[in-house]
Amino acid sequence: MDILTETLRNQLLDRKQRLNSLAPAAGAHNLLSLLRQVDAALERLDEGSFGICEVCHEPIEADRLLANPLARTCLGDLDSHEQQALERDLDLLAQVQQKLLPPRHQQFDGWEVCFDYKPFRVASGDYCDVITGCDAVNVLLGDVSGKGVAASMLVANLHGLFRTLLPDGCNLAASLARANRIFSESTIASHYATLLAMRADTEGLVTIANAGHCIPYLIAEQEVVPLSSTSLPLGVFADASFQVSEFQLKPGDSVFAYTDGLSEARNTMEEEYGAARLVEWLRTACGLSPDQMVKGCLADLEAFRSSTGLSDDLSILLLKRR
Ligand SMILES: [Zn+2]
């Protein structure tokens, strides 16, 4: 039996036990109906028809089954009531996700942070947060593997994790190692997250840890310099450690970060936006304000894509020393 089936069976048996303990006291009709549904799902598991859509006979989406092991049809074959309920849930999910984001433009002691965040579908697998603590501002940009609801739930998990760990953890590498351990133990095996973590102090020193994320660029006096990646993504190995590098930024210098929704965007000719075009654009944009820079980069991407739509979640962020 594979791990997914075993997890689902255990979940179902656990739910059955809870229902059994509630049913006699409540005597409610809907509890008995739920119990029958759980039994039917356990039977489907035994006879091998579990996870197969009863309408089109194709497999039901795995993340939906994990969220609701009682599901009997694939997304495409939901009836209209179920579809409306799902749409309401997704709208709510998108609202919750927007509320978790920091303000789009913020200023701190000597620093300015500006970003844009565009989900590909309703909910995004990109993670972005700005957290103060230890006399510094922490800027985080990440990307959970996969898209949609499952990825967005892990993004919410990262928000909670770093808002708890970072304000008191003055050692960035140690905070990341701790976050990685907790994330590894709480996430399903197929998911991981790339993450760029930057801590900027009042003296202009930026400490950077890059856990497998797209390479950010240091923009200093017309020069655009890549800040190379060093560590594995979060959630790959619970025991991973994280290297940090330090850079001194002068007033006017900035760091440009993004998710692969930018670098891997494609145009109608199937060409990638890519690092070379990005660096070239950044060179021409050195004198712009952070706001103009983020908007300008989005405009350049749009000009490149022309009629092609987004194909991935997209985030762009600029950290500038004032
Ligand atoms: Zn179906």
CA of 49 to the centre of ligand 1 (A): 13
The residue whose two tokens read 């944009």 is 285
**317 in Cβ contact with 106 (< 8 Å):** no
Q: Could you give the CA distance from residue 214 to residue 88 in angstroms, rounded to a whole number?
A: 34
Low-confidence ranges of the chain (pLDDT < 50): none
pLDDT of residue 187: 65
Nearest-CA neighbor of 144 among 260, 49, 10?
260
CA of 59 to the centre of ligand 1 (A): 8
CA of 69 to the centre of ligand 1 (A): 15
Strand partners of residue 223: 220
Label residue 224 left, alpha or beta by phi (over 0 means left) and psi (-120 to 50 means alpha).
beta
pLDDT of residue 200: 97
pLDDT of residue 65: 83
CA of 83 to the centre of ligand 1 (A): 13
Nearest-CA neighbor of 192 among 155, 242, 148, 140?
155
Length of the chain: 322
CA of 131 to the centre of ligand 1 (A): 43
CA of 37 to the centre of ligand 1 (A): 19
Q: Could you give the CA distance from residue 65 to residue 221 in angstroms, rounded to a whole number?
A: 52
Q: How far is CA 109 from CA 106, 136, 196, 251, 322, in A?
A: 10, 8, 21, 12, 9
* Residue 103 exposed, middle or buried by CB count within 10 Å (0-12, 13-18, 19+): exposed
CA of 39 to the centre of ligand 1 (A): 22
pLDDT of residue 27: 59
Report if pTM > 0.95: no
Q: Which residues of 284-317 are buried (b: 16+ CB within 10 A; e: fewer)?
A: ebbebebeebbebbeebbeebbeeeeeebbbbbb
pLDDT of residue 320: 97
DSSP character string of 171-206 = -HHHHHHHHHHHHHHHS-TT--EEEEEEEEETTSEE
Q: Note the pLDDT tens digit of each residue in 270-279.
A: 999 999 999 9
pLDDT of residue 23: 60
Nearest-CA neighbor of 164 among 139, 133, 194?
133
CA of 176 to the centre of ligand 1 (A): 41
The residue whose two tokens read 């923009």 is 219
Q: Helix, strand or coil for residue 242?
A: coil
**175 in Cβ contact with 140 (< 8 Å):** no
Contacts (Cβ under 8 Å, ≥6 apart) of 86: 75, 78
C-beta contacts of 225-231 below 8 A and 24+ residues apart? 226/275, 226/279, 227/255
pLDDT of residue 121: 86
CA of 42 to the centre of ligand 1 (A): 20
pLDDT of residue 171: 93
CA of 302 to the centre of ligand 1 (A): 36
CA of 56 to the centre of ligand 1 (A): 4
pLDDT of residue 16: 85
